[in-house]
Structures are given as structure tokens and as C-alpha cells.
């Protein structure tokens, strides 16, 4: 929501708050070694507001722009809180343990890499956490892979492909909720729109891992004692039955029926809570506690305890506060017309939709490389590019897919990124000890880099690139979203008009 009566800053001045914010982030991430971007982003908001004041904006004007964008993200914040409840009660009910139990039993020597990727994908989708999956199931798979005498980088590549696939499309994932929040689209629509890139990328990766698995592993016997310990412990602590799949089936069914995300997820939480009491003997008070503070379990098996001790509304506080600050930062950049100037410069070189899509993915990747933070790599380009997509008449679902793939999936492939640093540490790749060859996991995490490449190709080919519907245009109008039209000279960001709301094509040069 911009003010077209105020002067636009020059390109250098428009870039200044972003560059300075990235510099502060760099100090926080690399000098202090603290992967917490909240305060640097808040400082960035203050820098942007100061530049706005120099341009003639009053604080009340900038506050209006900041709060407008934060209000747009409130539905997704509500979803994040509901997701926290779901994770807690789905673990307590046995739904998540059941998925892990069957997933671990599916492993066989010949298809170890392919099955390991699928196992990590199942666990990550059910939990919505790539980091949790990598640090637990992924770590167990690294031990099994060593027993098969498979190079660590091959196993790590399969683990990362599966774990971050789940983080990309799980409705329980914070990044999967963040991408539609900053681009203003529906959560389930966002997930459906990612399938054309996700499914082919996973299939290609699966085939590669299958071929490598048969050639590297063969039929050698291996010690499955760790997996047997995990499955036996799960069986001892939970009453496992197919009935426990009902909450997951319910949420998936409601998503297919295109029901709103928030009531669909809350229904899954309520059914999970009921099963926790009926199937696992939990009390009502315990269920309330799991929804608020997460599930707690002490089995003595570290892999299980670290994987299942999670969830609750409180577990989402970190990402919720980050979303609010990031949206506020984007709102300040938008209100002071800094985003408009930057996007105008990009659009002069990206006239075609394919170029715009490639630019959005590239900006998310670049933010991952420079800032070292996957959340910022989604939030910042998501707010920057949305007006340009609206101006070209394309659904911002294309943008949410672009930033998700350039942000979530590329994060574990950057060693100094929060995601990459976690993968290297959690999987014990020993990079700091001189085992540089294990960085080969980066090109071998096929699904992570194939998916954004497919998305860019679709943009140029015009495949799976939806135009904005009348309903989406109406939402732009109702929420006074900024639209950046293509013109021969300077582009102008304007509010959605009644003509847009009726489905009229945006003005073109």
C-alpha cells in the first residue's frame, strides 16, 4: 500500500535499507554466530522508516503501511498456532509415531537410498520439520548407510532431499505457511501449486537413488539394530493402529475438498486430541498441555525423544514473531516506495513472465547466500515481487512457489546458511575437520535443486503458471494491495482498481 503523492527514492536510496539490514544480519549470523534474524530485521524496519521520514513521510503514514501488511498475514499466523497444536496432539495420539514406525520398516538394503529419501519425506510431511527429521531419522540413516559402506555424501543427499521435500509441502511446516502469508495466497492452494515441480523432482531423485542403491549396496547383509530399537520403543510406548491415520486423512480430505485451511487444520487437531484420549489413555488436561506446550516423552532412546518432544503453540512463537517483524519490514519498504523502485529496475530487464519468475527464484537464492537465513529469503522477495506479479495479471501463487523453492529448498545447500550449517552438523559430515568431500551432498540432494529449475522452466514455457482469477483480483481490490503495471517509462505502483476486481486485464504498454 503505497502513497503515490510522495516522491520515489532513487535506486541507491531504495536499496540502502536492504543493504544495511543485510549487513546487520551478517554481523548477527556470521560474527556472533547467532541464527536469529529478528532484531536485525527490526533495525532494518527502523532504517527504512528513517529514510521514509527523510522523504517526507510522517510516522503515522508508515505505521499505516506496516500494520496493513501485518494484518494481511494474520490468517497465516493463526494457522501457525493451529499447526503447533496439531503437532503436539498428533504425536500424543500416536499418528506421527505410526507413520515413523511403518516408514522405518519399509527399509531394505537394495533400495536403501531411495527408501531413506521416502522415509524422510513421510516423517517431514507428518511433522512439518526438515530440521527435526534430519537430526533424528536422518542421523539414524547415516549410521545405517555407513554400515552399507555407502559414502556419507550419498546418504546425506538422500536425507536432505526427503526431509526438505516434506518441509516444502507440509501444511504443518513454518516455511510452507510463511510463503503464502507474505504473498497473500491460500495455504492449500499454495501446496497444490507446488506439486507440478515437487512431484517430478522427487520422482527423478527417487530413480537416481534407486539406480545408485542397487549398484552400490547390492544384497549385502547389514545390522538393522538401531532401526529395530526405534520401532520396538515406539511399539512399547504407543498403541499403534491404522485408526491413528484418521486425523491425517481428514485434513488431506478437507484440503482436496478445498475447505478453508484454518478450520480444516483445527478439525485435525480436535480429532487427534480425541484419539490421544481414547487410544493412548491421555487425560483432557494432558491434551490441553500438549496443545499449548508440546508433547513430552522420555524413552531413553535419544533418537525418539528428540524427534517426538515437540509441538504446541509455544513452539511456534519464534517463527510467528519473525513473520510479524518481516511483514512489518516489508510493509515499511512498500509504503516508502523502496520496493516499487527496486522492482521497477528489475522489470526493465524482466519483461517476460519467465524472466520475472527466474528473478524471484534468483532473489530468494541470493538472499539465502548473502543473509544466511531461509525465512528472510522467503519473506523479503515475497513482499518485493508481489506487486509485479499483480501488474502482469499472474496469480501470486507463482511467486509463493518461487520463493518457497528458492528459499526452503536451497537453504540446506548453502553451507554457511542456517539450514546448511544444521545439516552439516546434525549429520556429522565433518566439514570443519577437513572432510571437504562430504560437501558433495549438495549436488546429490537432487530434489532440492531440480524443483526450482523446473519452476523457472515452467515460467518460460507458460506451463503450470496460473493467471489471477477474478476472486484473487477482488481480494487485491478489497485489501488495497499494491499493483505495479508495465509501462514504457517509469512504472507506477497503484492500488487495485474496480476494473481489476471485475477481472479486467492489467494495463500494458
* CB neighbour list of residue 349: distance below 8 Å, 6 or more residues apart: 355
* Segments in the chain below pLDDT 50: 487-509
Q: What are phi and psi of 101, to 5 degrees?
A: -60, -50
pLDDT of the residue at 488: 43
| Terminal alpha carbon distance of the chain | 23
What CA–CA distance (Å, rounded) separates 376 from 75?
Answer: 19
List the grid coordinates of 447.
530434489
437, 152 in Cβ contact below 8 A? no
Tens digits of per-residue pLDDT, 365-412? Answer: 987 776 656 777 888 788 888 888 988 889 999 999 999 999 889 988
Any long-range contacts for 47-51 (C-beta under 8 Å, 24+ apart)? Answer: 47/16, 47/17, 47/20, 47/21, 48/17, 48/329, 48/332, 48/333, 48/336, 48/338, 49/332, 49/336, 51/9, 51/13, 51/16, 51/17, 51/336, 51/338
Tell which residue, 316, 230, 245, has the closest CA to residue 279: 245
CA 296, distance to chain mean position in Å, is 25
Q: Write down the pLDDT at residue 4.
A: 58
Closest C-alpha to 10, from 380, 340, 387, 435: 340
Please calculate the CA angle 184-188-194 and round it to the nearest 5 degrees.
90
Backbone dihedral region for residue 184 (phi beyond 0: left; psi -120 to 50: alpha; all else: beta): left
**Alpha helices per DSSP H over 296-337:** 302-308, 317-335
pLDDT in tens, 420-467: 877 887 777 877 667 788 889 999 999 999 999 999 999 999 999 999
DSSP element (H, E) containing 469: none
494 pairs with which residues across the strands? 483
Q: Closest Cα partner for 361 from 404, 421, 313?
A: 404
Yes or no: say if 115 and 295 are a contact pair by the CB < 8 Å rule: no
Q: What 3-state class would DSSP assign to 358?
A: helix
pLDDT (0 to 100) of residue 503: 40
372 neighbors 379 (Cβ within 8 angstroms):
no
Pick from 122, 135, 42: nearest CA to 428: 135
CA pair distance 485, 452, nearest whole angstrom: 26
0.85 surpassed by pTM: no
Task: Pull the grid cell for residue 11.
Answer: 535506486
Of 351, 259, 506, 495, which Cα lies nearest the Cα of 359? 351
The rounded distance, in Å, linking the Cα atoms of 424 and 428 is 6
**CA-to-CA distance for 431 and 90, rounded, in angstroms?**
36
pLDDT at 132: 67
Amino acid at each position: 500500500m503505497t502513497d503515490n503523492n510522495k516522491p520515489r527514492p532513487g535506486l541507491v536510496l531504495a536499496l540502502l535499507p536492504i543493504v544495511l539490514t543485510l549487513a546487520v544480519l551478517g554481523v548477527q549470523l556470521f560474527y556472533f554466530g547467532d541464527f536469529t534474524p529478528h532484531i536485525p530485521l527490526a533495525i532494518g524496519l527502523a532504517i527504512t522508516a528513517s529514510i521514509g521520514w527523510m522523504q517526507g513521510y510522517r510516522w503515522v503514514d508508515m505505521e499505516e503501511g506496516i500494520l496493513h501488511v501485518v494484518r494481511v498475514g494474520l490468517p497465516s499466523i493463526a494457522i501457525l498456532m493451529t499447526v503447533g497444536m496439531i503437532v503436539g496432539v498428533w504425536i500424543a495420539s500416536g499418528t506421527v509415531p505410526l507413520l515413523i514406525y511403518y516408514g522405518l520398516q519399509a527399509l531394505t538394503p537394495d533400495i536403501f537410498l531411495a527408501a531413506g529419501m521416502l522415509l524422510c519425506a513421510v516423517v517431514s510431511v507428518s511433522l512439518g520439520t526438515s530440521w527435526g527429521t534430519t537430526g533424528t531419522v536422518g542421523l539414524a540413516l547415516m549410521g545405517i548407510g555407513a554400515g552399507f559402506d555407502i559414502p556419507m555424501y550419498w546418504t546425506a543427499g538422500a536425507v536432505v532431499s526427503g526431509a526438505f521435500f516434506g518441509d516444502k509441502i507440509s501444511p504443518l511446516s513454518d516455511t510452507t505457511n510463511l510463503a503464502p502469508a507474505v504473498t497473500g495466497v491460500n495455504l492449500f492452494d499454495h501446496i497444490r501449486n507446488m506439486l507440478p515441480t515437487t512431484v517430478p523432482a522427487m520422482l527423478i531423485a527417487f530413480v537416481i537413488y534407486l539406480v545408485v542403491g542397487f549398484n552400490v549396496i547390492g544384497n549385502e547383509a547389514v545390522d538393522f539394530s538401531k532401526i529395530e530399537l526405534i520401532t520396538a520403543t515406539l511399539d512399547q510406548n504407543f498403541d499403534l493402529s491404522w485408526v491413528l491415520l484418521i486425523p491425517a486423512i481428514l485434513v488431506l480430505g478437507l484440503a482436496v475438498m478445498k475447505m478453508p485451511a484454518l478450520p480444516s487444520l483445527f478439525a485435525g487437531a480436535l480429532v487427534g486430541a480425541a484419539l490421544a484420549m481414547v487410544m493412548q489413555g491421555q487425560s483432557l488436561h494432558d491434551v490441553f498441555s500438549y496443545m499449548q506446550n508440546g508433547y513430552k516423552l522420555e524413552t531413553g532412546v535419544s533418537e525418539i525423544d528428540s524427534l517426538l518432544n515437540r509441538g504446541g503453540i509455544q513452539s511456534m512463537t519464534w517463527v510467528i514473531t519473525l513473520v510479524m517483524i518481516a511483514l512489518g519490514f516489508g510493509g515499511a519498504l512498500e509504503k516508502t516506495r523502496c520496493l516499487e523502485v527496486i522492482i521497477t529496475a528489475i522489470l526493465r530487464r524482466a519483461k517476460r513472465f519467465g524472466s520475472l519468475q527466474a528473478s524471484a527464484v534468483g532473489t530468494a537464492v541470493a538472499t539465502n547466500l548473502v543473509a544466511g537465513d531461509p525465512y528472510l529469503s522467503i519473506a523479503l522477495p515475497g513482499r518485493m515481487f508481489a506487486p509485479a506479479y499483480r501488474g502482469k495479471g499472474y496469480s501470486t501463487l507463482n511467486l509463493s512457489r518461487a520463493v518457497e523453492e528458492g528459499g526452503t529448498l536451497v537453504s540446506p545447500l548453502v553451507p554457511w546458511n542456517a539450514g546448511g550449517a544444521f545439516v552439516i552438523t546434525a549429520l556429522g559430515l565433518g566439514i570443519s575437520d577437513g572432510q571437504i568431500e562430504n560437501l558433495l551432498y549438495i549436488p546429490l540432494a537432487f530434489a532440492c535443486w531440480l524443483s526450482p529449475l523446473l519452476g523457472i522452466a515452467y515460467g518460460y514455457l507458460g506451463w503450470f503458471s496460473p493467471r489471477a482469477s477474478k476472486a484473487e483480483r477482488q481480494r487485491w481490490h478489497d485489501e488495497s494491495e499494491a499493483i505495479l503495471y508495465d509501462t514504457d517509462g517509469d512504472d507506477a505502483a497503484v492500488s487495485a482498481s474496480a476494473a481489476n476486481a471485475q477481472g479486467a486485464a492489467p494495463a500494458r504498454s
